[in-house]
Amino acid sequence: MNQSLSRIPNTNTPSFRLTDSNSAISFLSKELEFLKQISCAEKKNSRIILSSAESKSSEMVICQRRSTWFWPKKNLNNSRQFTVLKGKLFVACINDTGESIINSVILDSQKNNYIFRVAPNVFHVDFPLTDIAIHLETTDSTPDPHIFLKNTALNRKNFRHAMLKEYRLQNLKSLF
């Protein structure tokens, strides 16, 4: 790696911070491979935080595993941008009950759809469609309070399937 990394202790997922995040940052395929190896070895998502602790923005390169995902959430004050680097990532903006998609996309590193931005105060969910998806996640400022949508009517096991089904139906309707 061109940059030095230090592991952040006491985190739920393997997390690292650049030791000198004020200098120029280049991210190469070997850094992506490092994240993938850590994620596979520990069977958890992993991340490298690019921004300094004092930064007014938050930038993280995140390796997500298909087997893990988080409940929908919304950032109260800031937008969030997803830029896919490897694999396929499904990102959807959903209504406040979590039962319908407002806007969604499949970001694919093999195609020309790389970036999706979510406005502040909008519930959104993201999860990989490949075994591993690596993306750059950027928010306008940090810290930003966010809340999770844990609607008891939503079945965690079936939520991802329901989101993908609605996405496919919306895209079929747009063809007619």
Alpha carbons 176 and 57: distance in angstroms, whole number? 41
> How much is the average pLDDT of 47-62?
82
Contact between residue 15 and residue 8 where contact means Cβ atoms under 8 Å apart:
yes
pLDDT tens for each residue of 112-151: 788 999 999 998 989 898 999 999 999 887 666 667 776 5
Q: Does 110 score more than 80 pLDDT? A: yes
pTM beyond cutoff 0.85: no
The total number of structural domains in the chain stands at 1
Which has more pLDDT, 37 or 5? 37
Q: What is the CATH number for 102?
A: 2.60.120.10
**Structure tokens belonging to residue 109:** 């590193």
Please answer whether residues 171 and 103 qualify as being in contact, where contact means their C-beta atoms are separated by less than 8 angstroms. Answer: no
Average pLDDT of the segment spanning 57-79: 86
Range of the domain at 81: 5-173
